[in-house]
Amino acid sequence: MPSSAPRLLSGLVMALCWALMTSAAEARWRADDAKVHIRVDGIDRSYVVHAPRVTLPAGGFPVVLAFHGGGGTAESMVRLTRFDAIADARGLVIVYPDGVDRHWNDGRSTIKNKTDDVAFVRALLEEVGRNYPIDRGSVFATGISNGALFTHRLACELAGAISAIAPVAGPMPADLAPHCRPARAVSVLQIEGDADPIIPYGGGKVVDFGGRGEGGTVLSAPETVALWGRVNGCAAVPSPVEMLPQMADPDGTQVARTRFPGCGAGAQVVLLTILGGGHTWPGGPQYAPRFVVGQASDQLDASAAIIDFFLSNRTAARP
């Protein structure tokens, strides 16, 4: 066999894995909510909005921005998170944006498309604020993978508009970390599987799926929350690790919680480590084979935990 053949075969396998990971969550489903288009910096951008069918709360609806992973779409993020039902029950507006070429410019130097996605989010929030009665002091961001990494960038660069973030399967990009100087405290709930085969829990190189992904490097999950602890003026040493109770039948995963106490301006910094968990949304579907993304844990309902975290930060003071 020619020496280039193993490399070609590896690339084909990675390409198949990429296709499985990014398409499975979209199969047999489309959002009921209409897609909205907006032009930003001369580029046609889009997003889906789900507004709750409930009485308007005092001060307006909190807003959650939910960013898909690399290769995903707004519709796939609706399917993955199932946020709409929680939004209807608890009175939130959920916004599912689309990335250019299905990716976000999350701060890694290896990102191929350098679109100004921070400017897009800024414009999107202005438009959503004109069209819906929202609480501009309660805007939150979550996402998975590339979308999770992008929420770190938003917290660093758009802290005036974002009160809290909840990245899933996506710690801080290493290229972004030295420049992260948010204008105010931002609460962080980091959710990471310690057996993630794509974005390593322990930090380092991100799998690039034979060149179809974005590659680059990330901090470890513990380094990420330690950084946010320093930024938010929290205690240097976290509280002892707590094991959360089992929620479902044993599936090979457990959830460990690490908190940084004493943060300034009412902020919170929390790490939920999914022991045995993969590059997945806990409580969500096993959207691709385990050999590709690892185990989807049933021991945490990430969507409910994220909304609880966001709403607990709704009244937190921010200078």
Rounded to an integer, the average pLDDT of 7-19 is 48
Rounded to an integer, the average pLDDT of 36-46 is 97
46 three-class SS = strand
* DSSP for 121-175, written as a single string: HHHHHHHHHHHS-EEEEEEEEEEETHHHHHHHHHHHH-TTT--EEEEES---BTT
- Residue 16: pLDDT over 80: no
pLDDT confidence tier of residue 31, bands split at 50, 70 and 90: very low
Q: So what's the pLDDT on residue 34?
A: 78
Q: So what's the pLDDT on residue 209?
A: 85
* DSSP for 52-65, written as a single string: -SSPPPTT-EEEEE
Q: Residues 31, 74: contact at Cβ < 8 Å?
A: yes
Spatial distance between the Cα atoms of 74 and 292, rounded to a whole number of angstroms: 22
* DSSP for 248-312, written as a single string: SS--S-EEEEEEE-S-GGG--EEEEEEET--SS-TTS---S-HHHH----SS--HHHHHHHHHHH
C-alpha dist (Å) from residue 137 to 19, 164, 225, 252, 318: 38, 11, 23, 39, 9
pLDDT confidence tier of residue 33, bands split at 50, 70 and 90: confident
The pTM for the full model equals: 0.90
Q: How many CA atoms lie within 13 A of 262 on its CB side?
A: 8
Q: Residues 108, 173: contact at Cβ < 8 Å?
A: yes
Q: So what's the pLDDT on residue 315?
A: 60
Strand partners, 275: 254
- Residue 224: pLDDT over 90: yes
Q: Would residue 305 count as lying in a domain?
A: yes
Q: Would residue 104 count as lying in a domain?
A: yes
- Residue 318: pLDDT over 80: no
Range of the domain at 50: 5-312
- Tell me what the pLDDT averaged over the chain comes to: 90
Q: Would residue 273 count as lying in a domain?
A: yes
The number of folded domains in the chain is 1
Q: Would residue 132 count as lying in a domain?
A: yes
Q: Would residue 318 count as lying in a domain?
A: no
The CATH code of the domain that includes 260 is 3.40.50.1820
Rounded to an integer, the average pLDDT of 10-22 is 48
- Residue 289: pLDDT over 60: yes
Q: Would residue 319 count as lying in a domain?
A: no
Strand partners, 134: 61
Q: Would residue 43 count as lying in a domain?
A: yes
Q: Would residue 317 count as lying in a domain?
A: no
Q: So what's the pLDDT on residue 28?
A: 29
Give the pLDDT confidence of 92-151 residue by residue, as tens digits.
Answer: 999 999 999 999 999 999 999 999 999 999 999 999 999 999 999 999 999 999 999 999
Position 21: which residue type?
Answer: M
Q: Of residues 224 and 16, which shows the higher confidence score? A: 224
